[in-house]
Amino acid sequence: MASTPQETLANLLSEDRTFPPSPEFAAQANVTAAAYEKAAVDRLAFWEDQARRLDWSKDWDRVLDWDDPPFAKWFTGGELNVAANCLDRHVDAGLGDRVAIHFEGEPGDSRAVTYAELLDEVKRAANTLTDLGVGAGDRVVIYMPMIPEAAVAMLACARIGAPHSVVFGGFSVDALSSRIDDAGAKLVICADGGFRKGKPLALKPTVDASLERCPSVEKVLVVTRTGQDVEWTDKDVRWEETVGKASNEHAAQAFDAEHPLFILYTSGTTGKPKGILHTSGGYLTQASYTHHAVFDLKPESDVYWCTADIGWVTGHSYIVYGPMSNGATQVMYEGTPDTPHTGRLWEIVEKYKVTTLYTAPTAIRTFMKWGDDVPARYDLSSLRLLGSVGEPINPEAWVWYREHIGGGKCPVVDTWWQTETGAIMVSPLPGVTSTKPGSAQRPLPGINVDVVDERAESVPDGGGGYLAIREPWPSMLRTIWGDDERFIDTYWSRFGGLYFAGDGAKKDDDGDLWLLGRVDDIMLVSGHNISTTEVESALVSHETVAEAAVVGASDPVTGQGIVAFVILRGGRDSSPEHLAELRKHVANTLGPIAKPRQVIVVAELPKTRSGKIMRRLLRDIAEDREIGDVTTLADSAVMSRIKVGLNSGK
Ligand code: ATP
Ligand code: MG
């Protein structure tokens, strides 16, 4: 059961390394400390300035309408077309020949798509959607591999005002059909399949099976990617025969700033997925500004690469809408990082001279496990900025990332945000902030994030509690699709008027923020609230541990006992003596209160498709219970393999 922090979270980990930006980086940075001051003077005027980054067909009357909280409206009365802001205006400005996407397929095929070509394809896709009967307000589900057509499909929907709902390519029939059904989608856009781990992985059969349960779907638009044999039904239309032949004349119509842009179901780390609704003007303003500020994007010279999948919010805001609204050149990679070899990502960085890399802690820990010698074989000197998102990053992983990928010279930005927030909320500014390994540090200019106690009061520096957001922000979710009650209950009822993020956090003595994992995962040991993140970071700081996941299992004596699941680095011994040493290492690092009751060696950990550890399933094992819902796991068989491994004493 989830523990409830009664007082504050214990503050166990201490980390005092800091890395100020180099004077050269600071001197050329897009955003300086003045942004914080400006936003502090007049927050709404600050966001109004950022909205001017975009082209509006009609100006807004009001920056923020918060008359009926928690239902916010931003830039009311304003009108814009999101896709035209991502494409047409760059082409109109003479930048049509700039590469928008350097696509790298897993089998090694590659192609460059310019802004002019992307616009052409989006216009043709928009005409096709209209021909298929999709109009403004109709929902479209996108179920695709990481290929340029996925971005085309999203932008074509945006262009005609049809909210899209992207579902991870690879989710099961259950996951896909429940999302199609909840959104009431009229059209599904998919591919025959995609390449993953060296093989074509079929997607279309999952769509076919889902449609048996989804009467709302009238047509399925199918891109040919792998060319594998797939069944064909009378609802199916081929992309090549429709989009491929459609007219490339299409005038973008402007929509209201609050017109729905997309619904995205959260990855389901904690329970039944929620359809998070985002709208147009405020969302694009914050996606665009944060991409410019946090990644310091220089569109003329940077080659940006975010390794996320478009099925995750990071792919929405930092592959499609943020970068494209800023005219970025980016890399898009279809496959897995170890296909055909563990140096694949670094080969791609070298090939395209990538300057900016945005990835997740789970990937960084995997690279560490594969060894320092792998990235060392490639020329990574083009990199100038590194980002992290998705989970708290362990300080050791942060330092490794900076040293072995960033050559000790790139600022590392640890960005905290959620599907619900739509865009980055807490992050260093790379030209301003002295970064600290493991800390997301400060709310961005114009953002009011705090750490509060049980009574919703701000905790002092040095204290811990819950992450909360005090004021509405432009890219905030507007509701949960079809369920305003659940929207209010989930996010707004706990701290009366504040947004409850569901994450534990602490403030250090400088007031910098450290994320401590999900509130549901916080452990209560002998009356102390202890965060999973801190114990995991302590384990990962031991040279033999590649990855760790920690849970609190009910304990007759202490309330909860800490059970740690660890993956050891290649070939390390899992003798009882070694496990005892790991327990002692945690006690030495964090104090005896945090010493795990048990350390269990496993070969893999249960993760969502976006790479987050699903601790609730490990808690089921630690407490010897039936394992809960596994439908959003990247690999649904992993739990049975872990159980078999434990029972055979491995
Ligand atoms: P669900 O809400 O369905 O359980 P989810 O929370 O995994 O799914 P996302 O919206 O993709 O879905 O993830 C947001 C969460 O990821 C945050 O609430 C936080 O727990 C974690 N997170 C993201 N970035 C960071 C970061 N930089 N540091 C710490 N935690 C992070
Ligand atoms: Mg969440």
Q: pLDDT band at residue 496, thresholds of 50, 70 and 90?
A: confident
The answer to whether the CB of 266 falls within 8 A of the CB of 419 is yes
Known binding positions for CoA = 196-199, 314, 526
Q: What is the pLDDT of residues 250-285, one digit of tens each?
A: 999 999 999 999 999 986 655 678 999 999 999 999
Write down the pLDDT at residue 367. 95
CA of 501 to the centre of ligand 1 (A): 9
301-334 pLDDT, tens digit per residue, is 999 999 999 999 999 999 999 999 999 999 999 9
Q: Is 621 helix (H, G, I), strand (E, B) or coil?
A: helix
Checking phi first, is residue 496 left (phi over 0); if not, alpha (psi -120 to 50) or beta? left
Q: How far apart are CA 425 and CA 513, in angstroms?
A: 12
Q: How many CB atoms neighbour CB 199 within 10 A?
A: 13
Interface predicted TM-score of the whole assembly (ipTM), two decimals? 0.99
Block residue for tokens 């950990």: 605
391 lines ligand 1 (CB under 6 A): yes
Q: How far is the CA of 417 from the centre of ligand 2 (A)?
A: 9
Residue 89 phi, psi dihedral angles, 5° rounding = -70, -30
pLDDT average, residue stretch 483-507: 95
Return the minimum-mean-pLDDT range out of 240-244, 332-336, 404-408, 526-530. 526-530
**Cβ atoms within 10 Å of 40's Cβ, excluding its own:** 11
Atom of ligand 1 nearest to the CA of 420: 10
Per-residue pLDDT band at 500 (split at 50, 70, 90): very high
Closest CA to 85 of 35, 121, 51: 51
Alpha-carbon Rg of the chain, whole angstroms?
24
Which comes out higher in pLDDT, residue 616 or 320? Answer: 320
pLDDT band at 3 (very low <50, low <70, confident <90, very high): very low
Q: What is the residue whose two structure tokens read 């993953």? A: 196
**Interatomic CA distance for residues 203 and 167, integer angstroms:** 11
Q: Which residues, 6+ apart, have CB-to-CB distance to 331 below 8 Å?
A: 101, 102, 104, 303, 304, 305, 348, 352, 354
* Digit-coded pLDDT (tens) for 105-126: 999 999 999 999 999 999 999 9
Annotated binding site for Mg(2+): 540, 542, 545
pLDDT, mean of residues 450-462: 94
Looking at residue 569, its pLDDT comes to 85
In whole angstroms, give the CA distance from residue 437 to residue 439: 6
| 41-45, 384-388, 510-514, 558-562: segment of lowest average pLDDT | 558-562
Cα of 269 to ligand 2 centre, how many Å?
7
pLDDT confidence tier of residue 650, bands split at 50, 70 and 90: very low
Ligand 1 within 6 A of CB of 114: no
Tokens 């109009």 correspond to what residue?
A: 135
Count of beta carbons in the 10 Å neighbourhood of residue 103: 21
Percent of the chain past pLDDT 90, that is, above it, reads: 85
pLDDT in tens, 579-613: 999 999 999 999 999 999 999 999 899 998 888 89
With a 6 Å cutoff on the Cβ, whether 440 touches ligand 1 is yes
pLDDT at 640: 82
Express each pLDDT in 417-451 by its tens digit.
999 999 999 999 999 999 999 999 999 999 999 99
Nearest to 474 by CA among 270, 321, 364, 274: 321
Per-residue model confidence as pLDDT tens digits over 56-73: 999 999 999 999 999 999
**What pLDDT score does 1 carry?**
33
CA distance 325 to 74: 18
In angstroms, how far apart are the furthest CA atoms of the chain?
A: 72
For residue 562, give the nearest of 603, 534, 581 by alpha carbon. 534
Q: Under a CB-based contact definition with an 8 Å cutoff, are residues 214 and 180 in contact?
A: yes
pLDDT of residue 2: 38
Going by C-alpha positions, the residue among 523, 488, 496, 544 that lies closest to residue 593 is 523
CB 468 within 8 A of CB 500: yes
Look at residues 482, 373, 392 and name the one whose alpha carbon lies nearest to residue 439.
Answer: 392
Determine the residue type at 195.
Answer: F
Span from the CA of 321 to the centroid of ligand 2 (angstroms): 21
Instruction: Dump the DSSP string for 265-309.
Output: E---SSSS--EEEEESHHHHHHHHHHHHHHS---TTT--EEE---
Quick one: which of 567, 526, 613, 278 has its CA closest to 418? 278
Helices 43-51 and 34-41 cross at an angle (nearest 10°) of 120
For ligand 1, pick from 276, 312, 419 the residue to mutate: most ligand atoms within 8 Å of CB.
419
The protein residue whose alpha carbon is closest to atom 27 in ligand 1 is: 416
DSSP E strands, 69-174: 71-76, 79-80, 99-104, 110-114, 140-143, 164-166
> pLDDT of 563-587, one tens digit each?
999 999 876 778 999 999 999 999 9
Report which residue type is found at 331. V
The C-alpha atoms of residue 168 and residue 346 are separated, in whole angstroms, by: 25
Contacts of 400 (CB under 8 A, 6+ apart): 364, 367, 368
Going by C-beta distance under 8 Å and a sequence separation of 6 or more, which residues neighbour residue 335? 105, 106, 146, 195, 196, 197, 344
The atom number, within ligand 1, closest to the CA of 533 reads 29
